Structure 1
């Protein structure tokens, strides 16, 4: 390990693209970390604003900042892949350009990592203007700790901005598939290789944008009253593709279960409904839906809705489209 005073070097992988509006605040929270053994790997993905100039100004004042500029735009996921590959630390922390870190974030994560493959934490939501939205990640999701990858087959509770993981995981998680969220994949692989844990403290102010693709706060449903995820055909197909990606991981702890789960899930694509799938998720509900905030009294109705296949969803989607 790279150590000074028995503290491992932590690499912060910062991906930047047209982030001038929030980048200065984020950089201040990075260089102000109470943990001293850090390097900041900033990779700019062909920004057309003042992002690079901001990075260069900071790098002149803070030697721990190293700047890399892409020759062509790689996109969000592949830019993170490149940033991770450039990291030299024993531990790697992922960083978005528009959040705000608690100054003790790295120090606390290093202290709590223990024998886990990955450590993450709770986060506080802020709006685009930086105002507190009075909600935390743990208000929306059950945060998972343990060593069962099945918890990440359907729902992710590990946000990229909160992740710190051991360098050894890089060989397992790379290359990243551009169609899937990198944090979801890292969590899935980490629980296959060992265990993960979380710190219940909010260590990041997580900025929410109206155009975000993750929709953690379910804004799409609030804005579009006709939207319902159980009639979202595209979502169902995307989930199947993700499950097949999980199955492709060569070191799955329980390949037989994953394979069986994928086969039953795929039956939903060709069927009106699948009783066998409903029975399976009912039997393993506690782990498959651990990360979802759901009252126990709603479980039976939820399982019933998951039973319906793509053909039924397509019919419902067409009917509701005509009504609207």
Structure 2
């Protein structure tokens, strides 16, 4: 290791793979090309049935800072990322999907800006299968600094591929519950400080219809998932966040059924906490007002 690399904190890039042979080489090439001088790349393959593992093992033979592991059983992507954290040695953790492409400066720029923040996140370019840009993530969501767990109550714009966080906080967040790892880690981090936002896109976020986040489920399952997330957030709020814990609990209660009292209370909670509950929505004040009204008639499903 060079003296320059030794002077910089180690960043562990955790990659979760499963049948990703079609795109994994372009992603691995972009991770190898990171200009930050001190990284390890931890790849955990979740029992792929294509030639993903063979491709990864070729990279591990060629690059000493690439470490490849194969699960004994299929864990699913959430637990796969969790396992990657446990295998990491860095002071900081960065997460990578198998089908994106990172710009070379991503890790260096985020590490230069993270300071004492527990997490930093950035914008992304949403691209198609051929990496042709469609729009930026910030065109769809109001990404900003976040310092309150309520912003994650029914939404998320802190993408796993776009963040770097302190390893000690990722460790403390284990075990990851049954929800997207980036949603959980974003929420958990706000219990320990502010998530810093750097307004630059560093990832080509490939959308091709087979992404895990593109999968669709029925309305009842989505509502049940939202209730589970609200319950989990409620239970994890420490005493310092008693006010937020109360809001999570009251909001969860309104999801029990459609009734006059539940519908009214849900609308009331949105009006009273719209600074946080609608923080990620790209809407002007009047449209946010209308959105709160809509919550009388509708339960917001967590994406």
Q: Confirm or deny a common fold (TM above 0.5).
A: yes
CA-atom RMSD in angstroms: 2.3
Whether 2:161 is the aligned partner of 1:161: answer: yes
- 5+ unaligned residues in a row in structure 2: which ranges? none
Whether 2:302 is the aligned partner of 1:303: answer: no
Residue matched to 1:244: 231
How far is 1:148 from its partner?
1.3
Aligned to 2:22, what secondary structure does the other structure show?
helix
C-alpha distance in 2, partners of 1:41/1:122? 23
- 5+ unaligned residues in a row in structure 1: which ranges? 221-228, 314-324
Aligned pair count?
296
Residue matched to 1:294: 283
Rate the CA distance shift 1:279–1:51 in 2: closer, same or farther, 3 A: same
C-alpha distance in 2, partners of 1:29/1:233? 39
Aligned to 2:236, what secondary structure does the other structure show?
coil
Aligned to 1:20, what secondary structure does the other structure show?
coil
How far is 1:260 from its partner?
3.8
C-alpha distance in 2, partners of 1:260/1:154? 12
Whether 2:273 is the aligned partner of 1:284: answer: yes
Rate the CA distance shift 1:4–1:285 in 2: closer, same or farther, 3 A: same
Rate the CA distance shift 1:254–1:66 in 2: closer, same or farther, 3 A: same
The answer to whether the 8 A contact 1:33-1:103 is kept is yes
Rate the CA distance shift 1:257–1:14 in 2: closer, same or farther, 3 A: closer
Residue matched to 1:151: 151
C-alpha distance in 2, partners of 1:160/1:253? 26
Rate the CA distance shift 1:252–1:16 in 2: closer, same or farther, 3 A: farther
How far is 1:4 from its partner?
4.1
Bigger Rg over Cα: 1
Whether 2:88 is the aligned partner of 1:87: answer: yes
Residue matched to 2:59: 58
The answer to whether the 8 A contact 1:272-1:308 is kept is no
Residues 47-80 of structure 1 show CA distances to partners (whole Å, capped at 9, x for unaligned) of 1111111111111211110111111111110100
Aligned to 2:213, what secondary structure does the other structure show?
coil
C-alpha distance in 1, partners of 2:150/2:63? 42
TM-score w.r.t. length of structure 1: 0.85
How far is 1:250 from its partner?
5.0
C-alpha distance in 2, partners of 1:214/1:136? 17
How far is 1:95 from its partner?
0.5
Residue matched to 2:109: 108
C-alpha distance in 1, partners of 2:239/2:294? 28
TM-score w.r.t. length of structure 2: 0.91
How far is 1:283 from its partner?
1.7
Map of 1:186-205 to 2, 5 A cutoff? Answer: 186-205=185-204
Residues 128-186 of structure 1 show CA distances to partners (whole Å, capped at 9, x for unaligned) of 222222x0000010113132111111111100111210011023210011x21110010
